[in-house]
A and B are shown apart, each in its own frame.
Chain A
Amino acid sequence: MKEKLKHIKAALAGNPNSGKTSLFNGLVGAHMKVGNWAGVTVEKFEGYVRYKGYKITFTDLPGTYSLTAYSPEEVIARNYIIDEKPDVVVNVVDGTNLERNLYLTTQLMELEADMVMALNMYDEVKASGLEIDVKQLQVLFGCHIVPTNAVKKEGLNSLLDHIIRVYEKDIIVKKNKLSYDLQIEGAVDSISNVLREDAELAQKYPARWMAVKLLEADQLVYNQVTGRAVWLNTERVVKAAIAGNEDAPGAGLRARIASDRYAFVRGAVKETVKGPLGEKKSITDYIDAVLINRFLGLPVFLVIMWMLFQFTFKLGEAPMGWIESFFAWFGAVVKDSLPDNELRSVISDGIIAGVGGVVVFLPNILLLFLGLTFLEATGYMARAAFVVDKVFHRLGLHGKSFIPMVTGFGCSVPAFMACRTLKNRGDRLATMMVIPFMSCGAKLPVYILIIGAFIPEGMRGNALFGIYLFGILVAALSAKLFKSTIFKGESEPFVMELPVYRLPTAGSILVQMWIKAWMYLKKAGTVILAASVIIWFAGSYPKDTAGAEIFEGSALEAASLPEDERQEAVNRLENELAARQLEHSFAGRAGKAIEPVIKPLGFDWKLGVALIAGLAAKEVVVSTMGTIYALGDTGGDVSTLTERLKANPDYTLPMALSLLVFVLLYVPCIAATAVFHKEAGELKWTLFYIAYSLTTAWVFAFLVYRTVLVFSA
C-alpha cells in the first residue's frame, strides 16, 4: 500500500548572494518551476523534494537585506511569510558575512517565523580560519542552525531533517525577543497591548512586530491597521510614542531601532565568532586593486565589454549559419511535400520563415547570456555598475541600467526583461524606452545592405560604427529628457554591495543561462508565431488575380523559349508576380497609404512596405525589399538587390542615410513591443513608447535627409 506523503511548506529567505539559489537547486534538483509573483515582475522559483515520507515544497523568496516595505522584493518576502504562513522558514545566512546577514535574521525573528538557519558557505568559513560557536549562536537566535555548503551539497540532508523536526514540533523554535532601548520598549509594549484588543488582527500578525513597524512608519502596516476599530486607540499611543521619542538624542526612531538590531547582531557575532579579524587582505582586495583601479578601471571595463561582444558575435556566426540553412531547407521540404495552397504558404512563408528569423538569433542570445551570467556570477557586474555609474547618473539613470542596455545590442526582448533589476519605476521605464535605440542584432543586415549600396568603399566601416554611436547618443539624450520630465523625482539610490569575487560553477551558470534563454524563446516564440501569420496575411491578401492571369500567359510564352533561357525567364516572372502581389496586398496598400508621411524623408511606398514588414522582425526589411524590387526592374540585367538599389535613380546618398537613421530608431519588432508591454504593465506606456520612437525616428531622419541634401547639392 502506498503511504500518503505528508506535505511540508518551506520558504527560503536570505540576503542576496547568500547562496539561496544554489541551496534551492541543491535541495530540489530538477523539480523546479519558474514563474512570476502575482502583479510584479519578480521571478518566483518553486520546487519540491521527497524525503523520508514527506513532500517538502520550497519557495525561494527574493534575496533581500531587510524586510521594510520599500522594494517589491521585500514586500513579497514578508507578505509570503505572513500570509502564506509556511511551516518552516529556512533562513540562508552567508557565514563569511555574518554581521549583515544576521540583520535580516533579527527581522525574521520579529515576524515570529518558525525558522531554521542554514549557515551557508561553511567551507569558506573554515578555510578562512574563522570559528563559529554554532551552539551559542543557536541559543541567541532561538532556532536550530545547520552548517551547509550549497555548492558541494553538504549538510542538505541534515537541513531536511531539521525542517521535518520543526514541522513535527520535535524542535520548538524559541521566539526570542529582541530588546530595544527602554523608551522604545515602553512604546512597543503599550502599542502592542492596544493592538491585541483586536483579536482578529493579532491572530494574523504578531502584535509586537506590528508595534515596531508602526514606530518605523511602515506604510503597509499602517494601511492594515488604520481601517480598524482599534486604530482609534492605537493612533493615540503611537503618536504619543513618536512625540516622546523623536526628540530624544540621536536620529529618528527608525535609525534607533535599526541600531539596536545591529547592536544585538554585533554582540552575538563578538560572542560566537573567533578567528583572524581585521587587516588581512583578501583575494577580492587584490583583484579590485587592479579591476577597479583609478586608472585601469575604465579601460578594463571597456576591454571586458569588447570581449563580451567578440565572444557573442564571432562565436555565434557559425551556428547562426547552420540554423539559417536548416530553416531554409525545412521550408523547402515543406514546400515540396505539401500541395500548392494557402496552407502551404502560411506554413512555409509565414510560420517557418518568421520563427526561423527569431530562432536564428538563439546562438547570439545564448552566448550573450552566458557571458552576462558569468560576469554577474563572478561579481564583476556590480563593479561594472560602480565604474560607469557616474556617466549614467549624469543621464539621470542608475549604474545598473547599463546591463540591460548592453543586452540591447543583442536583442531588446531579453534587455527589457533584464530591466527588472531596476527597482525604481521611473528608472526602469526610462531605461526600457531607450533600449531599442541600442542597435539590436537584427538591424545589422539592414545596415549592411544600405551601406553596401550607397556608401563609398572606404567609408563603410565608419558608417556602421557611426550608426551604432548615433543610437547610443539618441538613447542618452532621450534618457536625460525622460528623467527630467515625465520620470522626474527620486531615483533609486546607489547603495550597492560589491560581492566578493567567486569562481562560479559551470552547472549553476548553465542552469541560469538556460532559464533566461527559455524565457526568451517562450515569449518571443509565441508572439512571433502570431506576428508572422499576421504579416504573412497582410502580404498575401487580397489576391492579385489579374497579375496571376498575366503570369499564366507569360509563363506559356516562356515555355517556348530555348532550355537555358527558359528557367531564367520563369524565375524572373515568378519574382515579378510576387512583387505585384505584394503591391496589391494590404501591406502594399499600407505602404502607399503612408507614402505622403514618409515622402519628406526621401522614401517611396516600396520602402514603406519594407518598413512595415520590418515590424515582424527587422531583418525582414531586407527580404521584403528583395521581393518588392523585383518589380519594374526586370528589363535590365541587374541581379542582386544591392545593384538594383544602386541602379534606381530615386535612391541617393541622402535617402540612404535617412533610411539608416529611420531603421535605427523606429519601433522595434512586434515581439519586442509585446514584451515591452508586458514588462511595463500599462497600455499607456506602450502607446507612448511607440509614439515616441516613431516621432524620434521621423524627426531625425528628416533632419539628416534635409541636411545632407543641402550639402550634397
Chain B
Amino acid sequence: MKLAELQRGDKAVVTSVDSSGETGMRLIDMGLVAGAHLKFLRKAPLGDPIEIQIRGFLLALRKEEAARISVEVTGHMGDGVPMGKRERKGRMKGRRHEGKA
C-alpha cells in the first residue's frame, strides 16, 4: 500500500522507499526509511499535500512524493493500540509505567 492511500488517523510502518534522486534523498533525510513508524494526520484543504507524524515531528509532503513510499497499516489512532506496539511490546510497557509515575 502507498503512503498516499492511507486514511486520516491511520498508523503505518514504512516498508520501502524509492530513494533515487534529490526527492529520494530528502525523504531519507527526514527519516522516511524502511521500518519507520508514522501516523497519517490529514490532507491539505485542497487535497494535496498530506501531513504525517513521523519520529516525533510533523512532516508535509505531496502525494507525488508520497507515492514513492510503501507502507503497511498497523492500526488506527484512538483504537488503543499505541504506535508500533507489535514490535516493541515488552520494552514499551515498562517505559510507559515509569513515564506515568
Q: Does A562 contact B (CB under 8 A)?
A: no
Say whether B7 faces chain A, with CB atoms less than 8 Å apart.
no
Q: Which 7 A-B pairs have the closest CB atoms?
A: A297-B45, A66-B29, A390-B46, A493-B23, A255-B19, A498-B58, A99-B55
Residues 14-57 of B, flagged 1 when their CB comes within 8 A of A and 0 if not, give 00111111111111111101111000011111111101000111
Cβ A497 vs Cβ B62 within 8 A: no
- Tell me whether B18 and A390 are in contact (CB under 8 A): no
In the assembled complex, 14 residue pairs joining A and B whose CB atoms fall closer than 8 Å, in A order, are: A103-B29, A274-B98, A274-B99, A277-B96, A278-B83, A388-B46, A389-B48, A390-B46, A493-B22, A493-B27, A493-B62, A494-B49, A496-B59, A500-B57
B68 nearest CB neighbor, chain A only: A493
The answer for the CA separation of A385 and B23 in the assembled complex, in Å, is: 18
Kindly report which residue of chain A lies nearest to residue B82, judged by CB atoms: A278
Beta-carbon contact of A270 and B91 below 8 Å: yes
Residue among B17, B22, B28 facing the most chain A CB atoms (10 A cut-off): B28
Instruction: Chain B residues near A497: list those with CB within 8 A.
Output: 30, 57-60
Chain A: which residue is nearest B101 at the CB level?
A274
Which listed residue (B33, B48, B56, B95) contacts A259, Cβ 8 A?
B33
Q: Is the CB of A494 within 8 A of B16?
A: no
User: Contact at B20–A495, with CB atoms within 8 Å?
Assistant: no
User: Does B86 reach chain A (CB closer than 8 Å)?
Assistant: no
List 17 other contacts, CB 8 Å, given A386-B49, A493-B22, A495-B65. A65-B29, A97-B56, A99-B31, A250-B16, A254-B24, A255-B24, A258-B19, A274-B95, A276-B96, A277-B92, A288-B41, A294-B42, A296-B45, A297-B45, A386-B60, A389-B44, A493-B61
Task: Report yes or no: A100 in contact with B56, Cβ–Cβ below 8 A.
Answer: yes
The answer, among B42, B46, B49, for a CB contact under 8 Å with A298, is B46
B89 at interface (Cβ–Cβ under 8 A)?
A: no
Name the residue on B nearest A299 (C-beta): B45
Instruction: Check if A286 is an interface residue, CB within 8 A of chain B.
Output: no
From A298, A388, A493, B65 is in contact (CB under 8 Å) with A493
- A293: chain B residues at CB < 8 Å are 45
The residue in chain B whose Cβ has the minimal distance to the Cβ of A297 is B45
A393 lies within 8 A of B62 (CB): yes
**Interface size range of chain A in the complex:** 35 or more
A496 touches B61 (CB 8 A): yes
A29 at the interface (CB under 8 A from B): no
Which residues on the B side are within 8 Å of A494 (C-beta)?
A: 49, 60-62, 65
* A386 CA to B61 CA, complexed, in Å: 8
Query: Is A252 close to B, CB under 8 A?
Result: yes
Instruction: Compute how far the CA of A391 lies from the CA of B46 in the bound complex, rounded to whole angstroms.
Output: 8
Given A292-B45, A498-B59, the answer on whether A386 and B51 have CB atoms closer than 8 Å is: yes
B36 — which chain A residues lie within 8 A by C-beta?
262
Contact of B20 with A252 in the complex, beta carbons under 8 Å: yes
Check: A129 CB closer than 8 A to any chain B CB.
yes
Q: Known contacts A65-B30, A386-B44; is A70 also within 8 Å of B25 by CB?
A: yes
Contact A251–B19 (Cβ < 8 Å) = yes
Q: Mark A26-59, 1 if CB is under 8 A from B, else 0.
A: 0000000000000000000000000000000000
Whole-angstrom distance from the CB of B18 to the nearest CB of chain A? Answer: 7
Q: How far is the CB of B19 from chain A (nearest CB, A)?
A: 4
A251 close to B34 (CB less than 8 A): yes
Residues of B within 8 A of A297 (CB): 44-45
CB-CB < 8 A to A98: which residues of B? 56
Q: A103-B29, A497-B58 are in contact. Are A129 and B44 (CB under 8 A)?
A: no
The CA of A284 and the CA of B41, in the complex, are separated in Å by 12
> Residues of A contacting B60 with CB < 8 Å?
382, 385-386, 389, 494-498
Binary CB contact string for chain A from 370 to 383 against chain B (1 if under 8 A, 0 otherwise)? 00000000000010
Q: Which residue of A lies closest to B91 (CB)?
A: A270
Q: Looking at B36, B47, B57, which has the most chain A CB atoms within 10 Å of its CB?
A: B57
Q: Is the CB of A255 within 8 A of B99?
A: no
What number of residue pairs across chains A and B have CB atoms under 8 A from each other?
Answer: 153
B13 to chain A, nearest CB (A): 13
- Once A386-B51, A497-B58, A498-B60 are accepted as A-B contacts, the answer to whether A258 and B28 lie under 8 Å apart by CB is yes
Residues of B within 8 A of A (CB): 16-31, 33-36, 41-49, 51, 55-62, 65, 77, 82-83, 91-92, 95-96, 98-100
Q: Which of A276, A292, A294, A499 contacts B100 (CB 8 A)?
A: A276
A650 at the interface (CB under 8 A from B): no
A495 & B30 in contact (Cβ 8 Å cutoff): yes
Residues in chain B near residue A390, CB distance under 8 A: 44, 46-49
Contact residues of A between 182 and 216, Cβ < 8 Å to B: none
Q: How far is the CB of A256 from chain B (nearest CB, A)?
A: 8
A254 in contact with B28 (CB, 8 Å): yes
Residues of B with C-beta under 8 A to A393 = 48, 62
**Please, which residues of chain B bring their CB within 8 A of the CB of A254?**
19, 24-25, 28
Q: How far is the CB of B96 from chain A (nearest CB, A)?
A: 7
**Distance A263 CA – B35 CA, assembled complex (angstroms):** 9
A711 at the interface (CB under 8 A from B): no
Query: CA–CA, A284 to B58, complex, Å?
Result: 10
Residues of A within 8 A of B58 (CB): 284, 288, 497-500
CB-CB < 8 A to B16: which residues of A? 250-251
Cα of A492 to Cα of B34 in the assembled complex, Å: 23
Closest partner residue, chain B, to A261 (CB atom): B33
**B residues near A681, Cβ cutoff 8 Å:** none
Task: Give the complex CA separation of A387 and B55 in angstroms.
Answer: 23
Contacts of B23 in A (CB 8 A): 490, 493, 495
A276 vs B46: C-alpha distance when bound (angstroms): 34
Instruction: List, in ascending order, chain B residues with CB within 8 A of A258's CB.
Output: 19, 28-29, 33
Distance from B64 Cβ to chain A, minimum over Cβ atoms (Å): 8
Of B36, B49, B77, which is in contact with the most chain A CB atoms at under 10 Å from its CB? B49
A15, chain B: closest CB distance, angstroms: 10
Nearest residue, chain B, Cβ from A399: B49
Chain A contacts with B in 51-76, Cβ cutoff 8 A = 65-66, 68, 70
Given the complex of chains A and B, what is the CA–CA distance between A435 and B47 in angstroms?
26
* Residues in A whose Cβ lies below 8 Å from that of B26: 70, 493, 495
Q: Write the chain B residue with the least CB distance to A383.
A: B60
Q: Enumerate chain B residues within 8 angstroms of A263, measured Cβ to Cβ.
A: 35
Q: Determine the chain B residues whose CB is within 8 A of the CB of A103 once the complex forms.
A: 29, 31
Smallest CB gap from A424: residue in B: B22
- Chain A residues, CB < 8 A from B42: 292, 294
Closest chain A CB from B46 CB (angstroms): 4
Least Cβ–Cβ distance between A579 and chain B, in angstroms: 54
Contact yes or no, A68 B25, CB < 8 A? yes
Interface string of A88-112 (1 = CB under 8 A from B): 0000000011111001000000000
The answer, yes or no, to whether A342 is at the interface (CB within 8 Å) is: no
Compute how far the CA of A494 lies from the CA of B68 in the bound complex, rounded to whole angstroms. 13
Closest-CB distance, B36 to chain A (whole angstroms): 7
CA distance A496 to B55 in the complex (A): 14
A66 to B24, CA, bound (A): 13
